[in-house]
Structure 1
Amino acid sequence: MEKIVEKAPGKREARKEERREAILAIAKRVFLDQGYSGASMSAISAELGGSKGTLWSYFPSKEELFAAVLDDATADYRRQLTDLLKPSDDVRATVLQFCRSFIAKITSPDGLRLHRLVAAEINRFPEVGDIFYRRAPLPTQQLLCAFFEREMAAGNLRRDDPLHAARALSSLCLGVQQRVMWGLEISVEERDREAQQAAEVFLRAFEPVREG
């Protein structure tokens, strides 16, 4: 049987991808610096160079550009979670590692700036909240949900709605972010302690029921 060899992307495709990455890098900085309302497609296009038509050919609206920026900003973390939340013989260790990684992500400088942007704009631009939720919290919850569904089926966690469990664990971790968002200094040691406490509270709540 003849082996099919996939062709490497041509120069045109490579240039197109480089251009797209450049747009996303500039757009991310503009959104974080100026907010959603302050960022304009014209300003992003001017900083990028070239015609406005170039930007619009990649992203037909500011909403689509903002969504793409979020997808790009969370891609590495989604891959990290996909690897972390594989079937495990030690559900306690996995839950704790998730709490540590999630708290690190949501309290990172870019994570905090992004959450402040959404909080500041959501009343005037409800679509910002919807775009953010579907690109950031929801994928995390869905990955957790799939992990918990497997662990509940295996008897390692109490049977319940796995999506409810995912949201519960996420909420336990978000308390740290709220404190940091309002300017409170929290050390690395304190964040790790918060992660351990969140994992412990969750695991007690979803401890499997042992018969006999």
Structure 2
Amino acid sequence: MADDKPCLSRREVRRNDRRDAIVAIAQAYFLDHGYAATTMSGIAGTMGGSKATLWSYFPSKEALFEAVIDRATTLFRQRLTPLLDPDGDFESGLRGFMLRFLEKLTQAESVALHRLVHAESGRFHEVGRIFYDRGPRTIVHLAGAFIGRAMDRGTLRRDDPVWAARTLIAIGMAGSHQQLLLGLVDVVTPEMIAADADAAIDTFMRLYAPAERPA
């Protein structure tokens, strides 16, 4: 069977590679300097190219920041999706999701990105919007779809599955991740992440437990 995927020309491959390199440089630059202090000229200088070259890939700093967030979240979503197997055990799938989610969120790069967004979104609303649309919103809807199917099967009581997903994630982020953001701890261990995941799932399952049927 022939492969339906279009074959890219060498020029297109080089352009895609160049774009990926620009986004990687921009991500490091945004995290080091913040959104306000980042300029297209500064990124062009760091990558060793002209500003015209940079503008040929990205028409604005906002578009470049959006690409940075896409880069940071796309692969993460792809790794989370297989964990939410609708035919598998619900609690095991949910625990695997929470463990991987919290592992990612407590990495130094993720903590730095969250700090940047919280620091800059008050002055630059596009920062908060782009981050929310590409990150938290997509993860919540991914988990919400999984939770909604469990509600359909009666594993959980019926409620808004997206709100239930927000509740689960908020509980999970209230532990080690919050302490990292506030500088209360410098290192999070696998044991701390596992404890946060277990506590979040235990609370969630009790909160959304199906009502007992009368005898």
Q: Measure, in 2, the Cα distance between the counterparts of 1:141 and 1:3.
A: 37
- State whether residues 29 and 43 of structure 2, in contact with CA within 8 Å, keep that contact through their aligned partners in structure 1: yes
**What do residues 24-72 of structure 1 show as CA deviations (whole Å, max 9, x unaligned)?**
0100000000000111111111222232121111111111110110101
Provide closer, same or farther for how the CA distance between residues 184 and 11 of structure 1 changes in structure 2, counting only shifts above 3 A. same
Alignment match of 1:208 (pick from 196, 207, 210): 210
Q: Is the 8 A contact 1:149 1:162 kept in 2?
A: yes
**Unaligned 5+ runs, structure 1:** none
> How many residues were matched structurally?
211
- 1:3, 1:68 → 2: CA distance? 32
Deviation of 1:136 after TM superposition, in Å, equals 0.7
Identity in percent = 44
* Contact 1:118–1:132 (CA under 8 A) maintained in structure 2: yes
Paired AA for residue 91 in structure 1: F
Distance 2:40 2:195 in 1: 43
Report what 1:135 is aligned to.
134
Cα distance, 1:188 vs structure 2: 2.3
Judge which range, 113-122 or 43-52, deviates more.
43-52
Alignment of 1:193 with 2:188, yes or no, is no
Task: Name 1:180's counterpart in structure 2.
Answer: 180
TM-score where L is the length of structure 1: 0.94
Return the structure number with greater relative CO, CA threshold 8 A, min gap 6: 1
CA-based RMSD of the aligned residues comes to 1.6
1:85 aligns with 2:105: no
Look up the SS of the partner of 2:211 in the other structure: coil
- Measure, in 2, the Cα distance between the counterparts of 1:189 and 1:115: 22
2:13 is paired with a residue whose SS is: helix
CA distance in 1, matches of 2:205, 2:184: 28
TM-score, normalised by the number of residues in structure 2? 0.93
The structural deviation recorded for 1:105 is: 1.3
Which 4+ runs in 1 deviate beyond 6 A? Answer: none
| Counterpart-to-counterpart distance in 2, 1:13 and 1:64 | 20
Moved more, 176-185 or 73-82: 176-185
* Correspondence 1:150-169 to 2 at 5 A: 150-169=149-168
Tell me if structure 2 keeps the 8 A contact 1:88–1:94: no
